[in-house]
Amino acid sequence: MEPLTSKRKVIESKPLNFLERAYLPAILSGLRITGKHFFRKSVTIRYPEQKREFSENFRGMHSLKRDEEGRERCTACGLCALSCPAEAITMIAAERQPGEEHLYREEKYAAVYEINMLRCIFCGLCEEACPKEAIYLDGDIVPSNYLRKDFIYGKDKLVEEPLNQ
Amino acid sequence: MKVTIDGISIEVPEGTTILNAARMIGGDIVPPAMCYYSKLEGSGGKCRTCLVKVSKGSEKDPRPMPKLIASCRTTVMDGMEVQNITSPEVIEARRGIVEMLLINHPLDCPICDQAGECHLQDLGYEHGLAKTRYEFDRRKFEKIDIGDKIQLHMTRCILCYRCVFTADQITDHRIHGILNRGDHSEISTYIHAAVDNDFSGNVIDVCPVGALTDKTFRFKNRVWFTKPVDAHRDCDHEKCNGKVTLWYKGEDVIRVTARKDVYGEVEEFICNTCRFDKKKTADWVIEGPRHIANTSVISSNHYETMHPLPVVKSDPKLIEANEEQFERNTRL
């Protein structure tokens, strides 16, 4: 076959000398390297229990915010879903009824708000598009799961906890 | 009569307004219009967004007009020269007008059902007016139900009077009108009387903002998530020919409107039965997808046409690979 590059290097294999053929010295030097690593600081962490510090602009799980009075900020305008390049967000809007003023800030709210976390690429465009400062990707890493349907996060998982609890 | 608009000359019949002459030329030089409606007699002259500069009055009297004039109400003179987008003065004035229109506008576009097809939104976007300098309280009104199908948000109204003209000219008798004067003007019905007329739904279509909205579509979906499809049906009403646009979400027709042209004006008025009651695909004969300008947000994520790269068009291998898409494109 023709060489694909000009950088080809011919490796010449010399016959092994006596020490190499003796087996034990090579094993011992290998064990020495292994042993050295026992006493070094480990590079991995035990992930779910231990966590590394995230950078300031880390984008994790979404959360739907509440305002200072504890009302949901989201008004289901659909701009997050429009801007989403992965088309991961869907919502169904509903009209606020009289007496629900303490729950929702505007006269329209998202009755259903779903993000498919398998589709989401965590680009943060929804955060940028939101005119009501309602969605932020300030959460943790999205936990793993066994079923695809469990990755569709509804309002129960996305909306922030109420203030006085 | 010869008229020159932004350096483009056109022959128009006598009595044509500058705005209509510009529309005959078409393109970017057409002044925007919020209150003028070509299908409604007497409309125009209220919003002032169509202001243009007349730099030469006519062949006989070549003096320029002293002030900017409303192009929808001014008829052309022979040899008239008009500046629209070529005049910085006009652009500046229009900017001011848009800001003025937005003074009392609540800017609740995230809630408003008109968002995405709102002319005031387009104007605000074109003139870069996303913020307001107005610090005082805006006008406040309660929502009013005009009948069970139409809702009036007076806070969003810009008082273009289009709906009043529609009710006067398209329907037999009107019940709503403008109450009070000047700053206090308000579209209303006496004692919230229901507008029950076969053509009353057209006030929704003519409204350039979200003041009059369809209650059957209220908060159902955003217009840019729906799919417009042209359709028609045999309507029993003698004045309605049943040519409409259906707005689909998935399998469901969630809204029916009249077909609107490039200036956002309806081509033909439709009756209330077509608009509010026929919301099943079985009621309609589908003609095909409605063409939406690719500058509109409604066209986002609607892959109506494929624009292949030049290399795809020339390379036979790539043509073969994309055969399916090409086929679908020609079918559409």
Q: Clarify whether residues B125 and B201 are in a common domain.
A: yes
| CB nearest A106 (choices: B111, B115, B220) | B111
Interface ipTM: 0.77
Helix or strand run (H / E) with residue B22: helix B18-25
Residues of B in contact with A87 (CB under 8 A): 301
Comparing C-alpha atoms, which of B106, B205, B114, B191 is closest to residue B145?
A: B191
- The answer to the question of residue B94 being in a domain is no
With beta carbons less than 8 A apart as the criterion, state whether B186 and B211 touch.
no
* B153 and B205 part of one domain: yes
Q: Do A81 and B219 touch (CB under 8 A)?
A: no
**Subunit contact A76:B297, Cβ cutoff 8 A:** no
Please, are residues B101 and B49 in contact by the beta-carbon 8 Å criterion? yes
B231 and B315, same domain (yes or no): no
Query: Which residues, including other chains, have CB under 8 Å from residue A16's CB and lie 6 or more apart?
Result: none
A22 located within any domain: no
The CATH number of the domain where B119 resides is what? 3.30.70.20
Given an 8 Å threshold on Cβ–Cβ distance, is B108 in contact with A106? yes
Helix (H, G, I), strand (E, B) or coil at B36: coil
Choosing from B184, B217, B250, the residue where a domain stops is B217
For residues A66 and B222, what is the distance between their CA atoms, to the nearest angstrom?
23
CA distance B19 to B51: 9
Q: Is B145 on the interface with A (CB under 8 A)?
A: no
**Residues forming beta bridges with residue A72, ordered by sequence position:** A66, A104
CA A27, A33, A36, A37 dihedral sign is negative
Same domain, B144 and B213: yes
Q: Are residues B177 and B235 in the same domain?
A: no
Tell me if A96 is assigned to some domain.
Answer: yes
Same structural domain, B73 and B58: yes
**Domain presence at residue B126:** yes
Does A163 map to a domain?
no
In tens digits, chain B (332 residues) has pLDDT values of 899 999 999 999 999 999 999 999 988 899 999 999 998 888 888 889 999 999 998 888 899 999 999 999 999 999 999 999 999 999 999 999 999 888 888 888 899 999 989 999 989 888 877 777 888 888 888 888 887 888 888 899 898 888 888 887 877 666 677 777 777 777 776 545 556 677 888 889 999 999 999 999 999 889 998 989 999 998 888 888 889 999 998 888 999 999 998 888 999 899 888 999 888 888 899 988 888 887 788 887 666 566 667 777 778 888 887 777 777 666 65
- Residue where one domain finishes, among candidates B217, B246, B268: B217
The answer to whether the Cβ–Cβ distance between B225 and A81 falls below 8 Å is yes
Q: Which domain holds residue A119?
A: 63-158
Which CATH number does the domain housing residue A99 bear?
A: 3.30.70.3270
Q: Domain tally for chain A?
A: 1
Residue among B141, B137, B138, B297 at smallest CA distance from B211: B141
Residues B112 and B211 grouped into a single domain: yes
Beta-strand relationship, B80-83 and B2-5: parallel
Query: pTM for the whole thing?
Result: 0.80
* B302: contact with A, CB 8 A cutoff: no
Looking at the fold, whether B200 and B271 belong to one and the same domain comes out as no
B2 SS3 class: strand
Residue whose structure tokens are 């350096």: B7
State the residue range of the domain holding B54.
2-89
Structure tokens at B4: 């020159």
My answer on whether B197 and B111 are in the same domain is yes
Residues B12 and B63 grouped into a single domain: yes
User: Distance (Å, rounded) from C-alpha A57 to C-alpha A53?
Assistant: 12
Cβ-defined contact of A132 to B224 (cutoff 8 Å): no
CA–CA separation, B328 vs B332, rounded Å? 6
Q: Are residues B308 and B294 in the same domain?
A: no
User: Does the residue B95 lie in any domain?
Assistant: no
**B237 and B272, same domain (yes or no):** yes
- How many A×B Cβ pairs under 8 Å? 37
Answer whether A87 sits within 8 Å of B110, measured CB to CB: no
Distance separating alpha carbons of residues B151 and B207, to the nearest angstrom: 12
